[in-house]
Amino acid sequence: MAKSAGVSIGYLAERTGLAVSAIRYYEAQGLVEPWRNAGGQRRFHRADLRRLSFVMVAQKFGFSLPEIHGFLKSLPGGRTPTKADWARLSEQFRDHLNARIETLERLRDNLDGCIGCGCLSLPNCKLYNPDDAVAQNGQGPRYLMGDRPSDLTKDGNRTPNDDI
Amino acid sequence: MAKSAGVSIGYLAERTGLAVSAIRYYEAQGLVEPWRNAGGQRRFHRADLRRLSFVMVAQKFGFSLPEIHGFLKSLPGGRTPTKADWARLSEQFRDHLNARIETLERLRDNLDGCIGCGCLSLPNCKLYNPDDAVAQNGQGPRYLMGDRPSDLTKDGNRTPNDDI
DNA sequence: CTAATTTCTCAACCTAACTTGAGATCAAGC
DNA sequence: GCTTGATCTCAAGTTAGGTTGAGAAATTAG
C-alpha cells in the first residue's frame, strides 16, 4: 500500500493530449487531487489517466466541469470510474444527449411549420415559445419576439400592420 | 419618403424583450443601424423590430452574431428580412440544425456501442475520434484519451495493463 | 558539475454575448 | 420651470474553460 512515486503532470499531458495548464486547471476545479513530492512538484496516481480521460469524454457529451465533478464525487469513495461505473454513468450521458437532440428536433420541426407563415410577425408563432430555447448560453434573451401577453390587452390603439 | 420620427431604443426593448444594453450591443456589432435625433438619442426604423426578431430567432438556431450579420448583409440592399427572405434563410437554418443533430446522434450511437466495452482504456474506442467532437467550445482538448498514434510505436517498454 | 528541461505560482489575457455602474444629458408630464 | 424617467458614453465585470507569460526553483541528461 506504499504510495508509489506517482507520475508527473507532463506525463499525463503527453498521454492524454491535454495541456499541462489544463490539468492544473482541472486540479483547481477539484477533478484530480495530486500530492506533492519533496521538491513541491505535483505527483499523480496512474489512475488519474483514466480519470482525466473520463473528464474529456464527459466534456464531449456536453457536461460542464462542475457536473463532471458531481459524477466523480458520486462514485463510491470518490474513486476513478471503473468499467461498471462507466456503464452506469453512460446511461446518464445518453439521457442528456437525447434531451439535447429532442430539443433541437423540436426546434427544427417548428421551423418547418413556420416556413412561409409570415412567422417573424406572429405572437402565436411556435418559435415564440421561450421554453424551447436551445439554452446553451445562460444569458441569452429572455423573450423571443415582442408582444408579451399583457402588451396586447393593454395597448389598444395600434395599427395592426404597423408592427413588426 | 420622409424619414419618420422613428422609435426609441426603449420601445424596441419592450417589444422584443431584449435589454436596452443588448440592442446597443447589437448596434456595435452592425446588426442594426439607427440614426440619431437632435438630442443625440438613437432612433430606429419600425422594421428594426423584425430585424431584431430575426436576430433572436437565428441565435436560437445556434448562429453567432457574426454569422447573423452575414445573413443580414446577404439580403438585397441589406434590407430587413421579408417573408421570402425568411423562407430562403430558414433552409440554411434547418441544414445547420440537422448537422448538429447528426453529430449528437453519432456521438450517442458511439456511446451505445461502447457501454461495457471497457471503453475508456482502448485506443480504438470510437469515442476516441477527435473529428466527432461536439465542438461547441472552440478551445477544448485536442485529443480524446491518450495514445497519440506515434506514441505506441515510439515507446516500446510499457506493461500493457499498467496504463489507464 | 553544468546545462537543458520541467515544473512551480500567480496574475493577466482570451472569446462570446452581454450586463453593470458612474456621471451626464435629454425628453416628457404637470 | 421642475422633476421624473429615459437615454447617453465608456470602462469594467461576468461565465466557462482554459492559455500565456514572468521569474524562480526542481529535476534530468550528459
pLDDT tens column, B68-89 = 999 999 888 767 777 788 888 8
Q: Which residue of B has its CA nearest to A21?
A: B141
pTM of the model: 0.77
Q: At what angle do helices A20-28 and A48-60 cross, to 10 degrees?
A: 90
Residue A64's nearest nucleotide, by CA–C1', is D16
What is the model's pLDDT at position B149?
Answer: 33
- Residue B113 reports pLDDT greater than 50: yes
Q: What cell does B130 get? A: 477527435
A59 touches strand D (CB under 7 A): yes
Q: How many CB atoms lie within 10 A of CB B127?
A: 22
Residues of chain A with pLDDT under 50: 2, 122-123, 130-162, 164
What is the model's pLDDT at position B3?
Answer: 56
Q: Which of B47, B46, B37 is nearest to B77 (CA)?
A: B47
Calculate the angstrom distance between C1' of C21 and CA of B78: 35
Shortest CA gap A39–chain B (Å): 25
Q: Which of B135, B7, B57 is nearest to A115 (CA)?
A: B57
What is the model's pLDDT at position B145?
Answer: 37
- Residue B54 reports pLDDT greater than 80: yes
- Alpha-carbon gap, residue B24 to B104, rounded angstroms: 35
List of protein residues whose beta carbon is under 7 A from strand C? A 8-11, 13, 20, 24, 40-42, 137, 139-141; B 19, 21-22, 24-26, 37-41, 59, 64-66, 138
Q: Which of B48, A28, A1, B116 is nearest to A9 (CA)?
A: A28
Shortest CA gap A56–chain B (Å): 6
Q: Which of B17, B93, B142 sits opposite A17 (nearest CB)?
A: B142
The mean predicted confidence, pLDDT, of chain B is 75
A138 touches strand D (CB under 7 A): yes
Q: Which of B38, B51, B37 is nearest to B8 (CA)?
A: B37
CB A36 within 8 Å of CB B162: no
CB B103 within 8 Å of CB B134: yes
Q: Which of A126, A104, A60, A89 is nearest to B136 (CA)?
A: A60
Asked if A146 and B49 come within 8 Å (Cβ–Cβ), the reply is yes
- Alpha-carbon gap, residue B127 to B122, rounded angstroms: 10
Reported as a single tens digit per residue, the pLDDT across B12-36 is 999 999 999 999 999 999 999 999 9
What is the model's pLDDT at position B67?
Answer: 94
Q: Which residue has the cell 444527449?
A: A97
What percent of chain B shows pLDDT beyond 90? Answer: 39
